[in-house]
Amino acid sequence: MRNLLNLTNEELQNYFNELGEPRFRVKQVYQGAFQKGYERFDRFTNLSKKLREKLAEDFTLRSFKELERISSPLDGTTKFLWQMADGRKIESVIIYEGKRVTFCISSQVGCALGCTFCATGKMGWLRDLNAGEIVEQVLQMSRQAKSPPTNIVFMGMGEPMLNYDEVMRAAEILSDNEGLNFSRRKITISTSGIIPGIRRMADEERPYRLAISLNAAFQHKREQVMPIAKKYPLPQLMEAAQYYYRKTRKRVTFEYVLIAGFNDSLDDARELVRITRKVPCKINIIPVNSQDDNFPAPSEAKLRQFEQAVQDSVYAVTVRNRKGWDIQAACGMLYATNEAKGKAATHKVDVQTVKMKDERLKMKEKI
């Protein structure tokens, strides 16, 4: 059965046209599904009973089951692990920063890029999400959040540019003025540096913001932590970022995950300034949040030193606090923990099953 959340405004309009229903039905259903957050069609009391039954026959409104939820007592960051209709699992996160409420959402189950400091990269790629599954993350978290989201970022599990069509379709649904009506300027599409996706986003003049994960300013270092850098080297990536700005006149955000002893020196900071100088941009410096001891977070002194070195340039620089570090809120961590639990539980069941079989065999031998 199809998920109604996967339908654009135009597609829903075509559906109602086939039923001989008026155009305003789209607005009624979109408002109920997105603004009011209805999870069952019997809640749509402004529709006839017959139409509600027809919608329930043709569509679902929810497909997720919440498996786990962890909230940080330090900063309120809340991470969710969802199980989808096919049993696959994804993560989403709510991040609170003053009046700013950011929903971080996934675009794929797993990721094919294998960034070494990222837990999602260790999963490999399992499948793409469809637009409805991306949208449902926002609606599910909206029910739980302390206040509505001010920003939506495609920075969860997966590489958005490798699921480009569904990501853009989801962004279109989320920003539809008859539905959630979320500001297009407050939706950010993040990429690890997939150049064709960056250029396509520019050519199509998409109204959303672009963030590029750099994480190293030297090519040889970037290749060590982000294998995709071998296919899309830094010089070409910077050219794509310049192209994006020329086409859209939108400032690019560069994300820089700071790893102690690897990319946090003054030389790294100076090189970061140099390679981004030709791109009107904002730089987010983020202390690494990893379970791997090979990727330690920098000291506060080192962090501030790096920040100051970059801040001395002409750019806007923001140091992002390690939100949710105490609950391991970085991509893929909750998934990995849940999978480990599942394997342990499965192993216990298997051992018990073996014991039962052994007992049955012994009973048969006695008989």
Q: Any idea what the CATH number is for the domain that residue 187 is in?
A: 3.20.20.70
Query: Is residue 354 pLDDT above 70, yes or no?
Result: no
Please identify which of the residues 104, 111, 118, 331 carries the catalytic annotation: 331
Q: Which of 287, 202, 201 is nearest to 248 (CA)?
A: 202
Q: In terms of domains, do 163 and 29 share one?
A: no
Is 138 inside a domain boundary?
yes
* Alpha carbons 25 and 48: distance in angstroms, whole number: 11
**331 annotated active-site:** yes
Range 281-285 average pLDDT: 93
pLDDT in tens, 107-154: 999 999 999 988 888 889 999 999 999 999 999 999 999 999 999 999
Residue 18 maps to which CATH number? 1.10.150.530
Residues 6+ apart with CB under 8 A from 323: 72, 75, 77, 95, 96, 97, 329
Is 346 inside a domain boundary?
no
Residues 6+ apart with CB under 8 A from 363: none
Confidence of residue 311 (pLDDT cuts 50, 70, 90): confident
Query: Is residue 364 pLDDT above 60, yes or no?
Result: no
Q: In terms of domains, do 165 and 52 share one?
A: no
Segments forming the whole domain that contains residue 50: 2-60
Please identify which of the residues 21, 91, 133, 166 carries the catalytic annotation: 91
Instruction: Name which of 59-68, 222-231, 358-367 the model is least confident about.
Output: 358-367
pLDDT in tens, 18-33: 999 999 999 999 999 9
Q: In terms of domains, do 52 and 23 share one?
A: yes
Residues 228-251: b if buried by 16+ CB within 10 A, e if exposed: bbeebebeebbebbebbbeebebe
Would you state the pLDDT for residue 290?
Answer: 77
Confidence of residue 320 (pLDDT cuts 50, 70, 90): low
Would you state the pLDDT for residue 352?
Answer: 38
Q: In terms of domains, do 147 and 7 share one?
A: no
pLDDT in tens, 232-258: 999 999 999 999 999 999 999 999 999
What is the CB neighbour count within 10 angstroms for residue 93? 26
Q: Quote the percentage of the chain above a pLDDT of 90.
A: 78
Would you state the pLDDT for residue 54?
Answer: 97
Is 244 inside a domain boundary?
yes
Q: In terms of domains, do 71 and 56 share one?
A: no
What is the CB neighbour count within 10 angstroms for residue 259? 23
Higher pLDDT, 142 or 352: 142
Query: Is residue 285 pLDDT above 80, yes or no?
Result: yes
Query: Is residue 91 pLDDT above 80, yes or no?
Result: yes
